[in-house]
A and B are shown apart, each in its own frame.
Chain A
Amino acid sequence: MKTFFNGLVLLALAALAAILLAQFHPSAARSDLWFEYLNIFTTIFLGIFIEAAPFLLLGTLASGLVEVFLNPAQLYRLAPRTAIGGALAGGLLGLAFPVCECGVVPLTRRLFRKGLPPAMGIAFLLASPVMNPIVIASTLAAFGWGPVFWLRLILSFAIAAAVGLIFSTQRNPARLFLPGTAPVIAGASGLTPLDPPAAAPTARLGAALRIAADEFFEMGKFLVAGAALAALMQTFLPQSALLALGSGPLVSALALMLLAVLLSICSTVDAFIALAFTGAFSTGSILAFLVFGPMVDIKSVLLYLQVFPRRVVAYLVLLPFLMTLLAAVFLNLFTAY
């Protein structure tokens, strides 16, 4: 990951050098094809960033408020006691906790430590990046009230609940977690709510804003990296190359799922990225991108590894992968969408 970032920053510096060169020697560089590419790249990159930044910002603000004002212990008292009830409730819990996939991991860990049932926690972990008000709003903004919008919600919920149920069959829940109860999650915000008498509402609000600013940077860097990769691909990969991938019912779904993992785009904005592929890909494959990406990508797997043993992380990747692929191929083969 570190070398990835180093490479990206080097690339950015090279781009900046090229810009400066072009500014000072306009006649020499402006006719250059590379300057043209740089301009296209910059326009697309800034377009994605400007479109996504408001959603990311709203997400981090909501997350800051949740962390400061909400007490997970109270929530636990309301948790269902059966595995099925837990899995279903966990799938919907995101509606109350508007966090995207970066924020959900530390929140889930905190809830686990407070005694949340595994089925509910796993379902929450996988579903909440989609089943939350901000992502629902951005998906709606991008796709409208169509099949993509509804199927994204239904599939995300169903797959998350199913994986949660599968994990609930583990007799000894302790084996699901790393032995260290307080594993370090780099850059993640903690979740201890302030004691009600200890802090005035304004102080809490101030703390929420600080957490939001921190989270904007922690998640913003993944957004910038994702936007840069997406813009690079769009600049150099002609539409016809994407169209070629978009043909087979299986290969096109696999291609977009791989893309979702590689781009690691925050779920609050991935709908806008997916929109760019609608011309070239079928609805089933677009859904594979929108359902699998929020559950599993480079950055969420890195975060999962801080909470779960490798074996469990492998299941957390494999089970959603197979279920999403199955659903996508089914949609590609048997529906007209």
Chain B
Amino acid sequence: MTDRTYRTLQAFILLGLGVYLLSQWLSGTLYFYINSRFFWLVVLAGVLLLLLGARALPLAPESPHDHAGHDHEHPSPIGRRWTLLLVALPLLLGVLLPARPLQASAVQSKGLILEGSLISGSQDPLALEQPADQRTILDWIRAFNYSPDPQEFEGQTADIVGFILQDDRLGPDQALLARFTVTCCVADAFAIGVIIEGPGVADLPVNAWVHVRGPVSVAELSGNRLPRVQVESLKRVEAPPQPYLFP
């Protein structure tokens, strides 16, 4: 592979990655991969990649790659091929496979965490200040973990959206309403859930997204204190555009 070919392919991969990152941001599918507080970094990287790619395009035929500024050794031709292929791999996978968030099928490998202390963080007090019907599943678990006496929530109305998980440890007429939480990117994702109870919920298909409303009480599952929602209304809904909860 000549210097010129290598450089041209480099330029196209850089441009491609830049376009890919920016398009993920514009289409909102970036929510499937990372916590939204890092979106600005991805946008910055997209712009920088376009810049680097444009710069690497060997437009001038005479000296696309002068060695005045640096005297480095180029990798061997075979090394170059693998280098280009590997760096292009995210681009290939991202373009060929439709963007899809983690679903119930990933719970088995990513894990379901019921211990409130492992989930909660510095924002726990905030969860208490919110009106009850605006709390997410994550807020409810935080509020339960932070409060010295979760009985205080008894009777408050929860209004939550999540996907269905069935679990052997649950009683009859019970299911888990779950969400994935993502701190940085999906690599650190794990599922959390609250118990929902009502006729027929045990028959709901796994991974179905539902919107549940009803009064909260305190329940226990495998020694962990969990919110339990008595189902008053239950609606099947589409998966939300932002499928994860960001602690």
**Which A residues have a C-beta under 8 Å from some C-beta of B?**
2, 5-6, 8-9, 12, 15-16, 19-20, 23, 36, 38-40, 42-51, 53-55, 57, 61, 67-68, 106, 141-142, 144, 184-192, 194, 198-199, 203-204, 206-207, 209-214, 216-218, 220-221, 224-225, 227-228, 230-231, 234-240, 272-273, 275-276, 278-279
Asked if B87 is at the interface (CB within 8 A of a chain A CB), the reply is: yes
Asked if B93 is at the interface (CB within 8 A of a chain A CB), the reply is: yes
- Residues of B contacting A224 with CB < 8 Å? 86-87, 89-90
In contact, A210 and B65 (Cβ under 8 angstroms): yes
Closest 4 CB pairs of A and B: A239-B111, A207-B69, A47-B186, A54-B45
A213–B87 Cα distance when bound, in Å, is 12
Asked if B51 is at the interface (CB within 8 A of a chain A CB), the reply is: yes
Q: Given the interface contacts A141-B184, A188-B73, does A19 sit within 8 Å of B86 by beta carbon? A: no
Give the residue name and chain of the B residue nearest to A240 (CB).
B111
Partner of A272, one of B48, B72, B188: B188
Contact bitstring B91-124, A, C-beta under 8 A = 1, else 0: 0111011001110011011110100001000100
In contact, A217 and B188 (Cβ under 8 angstroms): no
Number of B positions contacting A (CB below 8 A): 67
In contact, A235 and B109 (Cβ under 8 angstroms): yes
In contact, A57 and B68 (Cβ under 8 angstroms): no
In contact, B79 and A209 (Cβ under 8 angstroms): no
In contact, A50 and B108 (Cβ under 8 angstroms): no
A43–B74 Cα distance when bound, in Å, is 33
**Which B residues have a C-beta under 8 Å from some C-beta of A?**
10-11, 13-14, 17, 21, 24, 30, 32-34, 38, 41-42, 44-45, 48-49, 51-53, 55-56, 65, 68-76, 78-79, 82-87, 89-90, 92-94, 96-97, 100-102, 105-106, 108-111, 113, 118, 122, 183-188, 190
Partner of B49, one of A9, A57, A228, A272: A57
A106–B177 Cα distance when bound, in Å, is 53
- Residues of B contacting A50 with CB < 8 Å? 21, 24, 30, 33-34, 42, 90, 185
A187–B34 Cα distance when bound, in Å, is 31
- Residues of B contacting A272 with CB < 8 Å? 184-185, 187-188
A198–B66 Cα distance when bound, in Å, is 14
A20–B96 Cα distance when bound, in Å, is 8
Give the residue name and chain of the A residue nearest to B40 (CB).
A54
Give the residue name and chain of the A residue nearest to B55 (CB).
A209
In contact, A188 and B184 (Cβ under 8 angstroms): no
Give the residue name and chain of the B residue nearest to A144 (CB).
B122
Give the residue name and chain of the A residue nearest to B93 (CB).
A42
A189–B73 Cα distance when bound, in Å, is 7
A218–B87 Cα distance when bound, in Å, is 9
In contact, A188 and B72 (Cβ under 8 angstroms): yes
In contact, B82 and A5 (Cβ under 8 angstroms): yes
Give the residue name and chain of the B residue nearest to A6 (CB).
B82
Name 27 A/B residue pairs within 8 A (Cβ), A-sorted: A5-B86, A9-B82, A20-B96, A36-B105, A40-B106, A43-B33, A44-B187, A46-B93, A48-B185, A48-B187, A50-B24, A54-B41, A57-B45, A61-B48, A141-B184, A186-B76, A186-B79, A189-B70, A199-B69, A207-B69, A210-B69, A214-B72, A216-B87, A218-B75, A224-B86, A224-B87, A238-B108
- Residues of B contacting A237 with CB < 8 Å? 109
Q: Given the interface contacts A16-B96, A210-B65, does A234 sit within 8 Å of B109 by beta carbon? A: yes
- Residues of B contacting A217 with CB < 8 Å? 10, 13, 83-84, 87
Query: Given known contacts A16-B96, A53-B42, what 7 new A-B pairs fall within 8 Å (CB)?
Result: A42-B93, A43-B32, A43-B102, A50-B185, A187-B83, A217-B13, A220-B86
In contact, A40 and B17 (Cβ under 8 angstroms): no
In the complex, what's the smallest C-beta–C-beta distance from A28 to chain B, in angstroms? 17
- Residues of A contacting B108 with CB < 8 Å? 238
In the complex, what's the smallest C-beta–C-beta distance from A215 to chain B, in angstroms? 9
In contact, B86 and A225 (Cβ under 8 angstroms): yes
In contact, A189 and B30 (Cβ under 8 angstroms): no
In contact, A43 and B186 (Cβ under 8 angstroms): yes
Give the residue name and chain of the B residue nearest to A52 (CB).
B185
In the complex, what's the smallest C-beta–C-beta distance from B126 to chain A, in angstroms? 16
In contact, A239 and B109 (Cβ under 8 angstroms): yes
In the complex, what's the smallest C-beta–C-beta distance from B176 to chain A, in angstroms? 16
In the complex, what's the smallest C-beta–C-beta distance from B34 to chain A, in angstroms? 5
- Residues of B contacting A239 with CB < 8 Å? 109-111, 190
In the complex, what's the smallest C-beta–C-beta distance from B73 to chain A, in angstroms? 5
In contact, B87 and A15 (Cβ under 8 angstroms): no
A78–B34 Cα distance when bound, in Å, is 43
In contact, B83 and A221 (Cβ under 8 angstroms): yes
In contact, A236 and B89 (Cβ under 8 angstroms): no
Give the residue name and chain of the B residue nearest to A54 (CB).
B45
A184–B30 Cα distance when bound, in Å, is 40
Give the residue name and chain of the B residue nearest to A207 (CB).
B69
A53–B16 Cα distance when bound, in Å, is 13
In contact, A54 and B44 (Cβ under 8 angstroms): yes
- Residues of A contacting B56 with CB < 8 Å? 209-210, 213
